[in-house]
Amino acid sequence: MKQAKVLSEAELKRVLSVVANQRHAARNRVALMLSFYAGMRVGEIAYLKLGDVIDGDGRVKDQIVLPASYTKTAEARTVFVSGKLRRELERFLSCNTTADRAAPFLVTQKATAFSANTLCQLFGQIYALAGIDGASSHSGRRWFITQMAHKGVSAKVIMTLAGHRHLSTTQRYIEVNDQMMKAAVEGL
């Protein structure tokens, strides 16, 4: 099975540039950032409620707890919010008009919750507009996992953050490139 493309930094910048010129730029950007900076699956992003992301005082949480009903493995997991992701979420929330914590975090142009399928289609449209072949709704997740591997994060930590049950699954997500292999041998 062909895997989703892992974007380069230049390609990610191109995608974000395309998103910036779209009608629902803030929404589309934060959806992508949840994929790239948190490694969330498209279905997990689609299921998010406002109360999953903000606390009772309206501040972005340090951790987003995904209930089992949101996840592919039907097991709850915790997504840790990095500084970069926090800034993205705060920027998006500054434009938010609802205080209803039960409301969907992201809504379609018809003001309904996204389904995993419609969000997947949106990601595909964005990548097509950016001219990136081979990218899919899983590209951000693969980028997240690959970036952690390149930074030397423990495989067990990556596996846990990704919500995988088996290390072999996590290993399939990691893209190895010449730069990574050169850095490995230079460390000897």
Residuewise pLDDT in 10s, the chain (188 residues): 678 898 999 999 999 999 999 999 999 999 999 999 999 999 999 999 999 999 999 999 999 999 999 999 898 999 999 999 999 999 999 987 777 899 999 999 998 999 999 999 999 999 999 999 999 999 999 999 888 888 888 888 888 887 778 777 777 777 777 777 787 788 77
pLDDT at 50: 96
- Which pLDDT value is given to residue 172? 73
Rounded to whole angstroms, the Cα distance separating 20 from 98 reads 23
Tell me what pLDDT residue 29 has: 97
Quickly list H helices, the chain. Answer: 9-20, 25-38, 42-47, 50-53, 83-93, 116-129, 139-150, 155-162, 167-173, 178-186
The pLDDT, as a whole number, for residue 6 is 87
Plot region of 74 (φ>0 → left; ψ -120 to 50 → alpha; else → beta): left
* Tokens 């997947």 belong to residue: 120
3-state DSSP call for residue 60?
strand
DSSP state letter for 1: -
Q: Give the pLDDT confidence score for residue 1 in this predicted structure.
A: 60
φ/ψ (deg, to 5) at 179: -65, -40
Among 126, 163, 142, CA closest to 31: 126
CB contact burial 46-79 (16+ within 10 A = b; e otherwise): bbbbbebbbeeeeebbeebebeeebbeeeeebeb
* CA separation for the pair 12, 154 (Å, rounded): 25
* pLDDT in the model for residue 83: 96
Rg (CA), the chain: 17
Asked if 102 and 49 touch (Cβ cutoff 8 Å), the reply is: yes
Q: Please report the sign of the dihedral spanned by the C-alpha atoms of residue 181, residue 182, residue 187, residue 188.
A: positive
Q: Provide the pLDDT for residue 32.
A: 97
Cα 29 from Cα 94, distance rounded (Å): 14
- Asked if 78 and 68 count as a contact pair (C-beta separation under 8 A), the reply is no
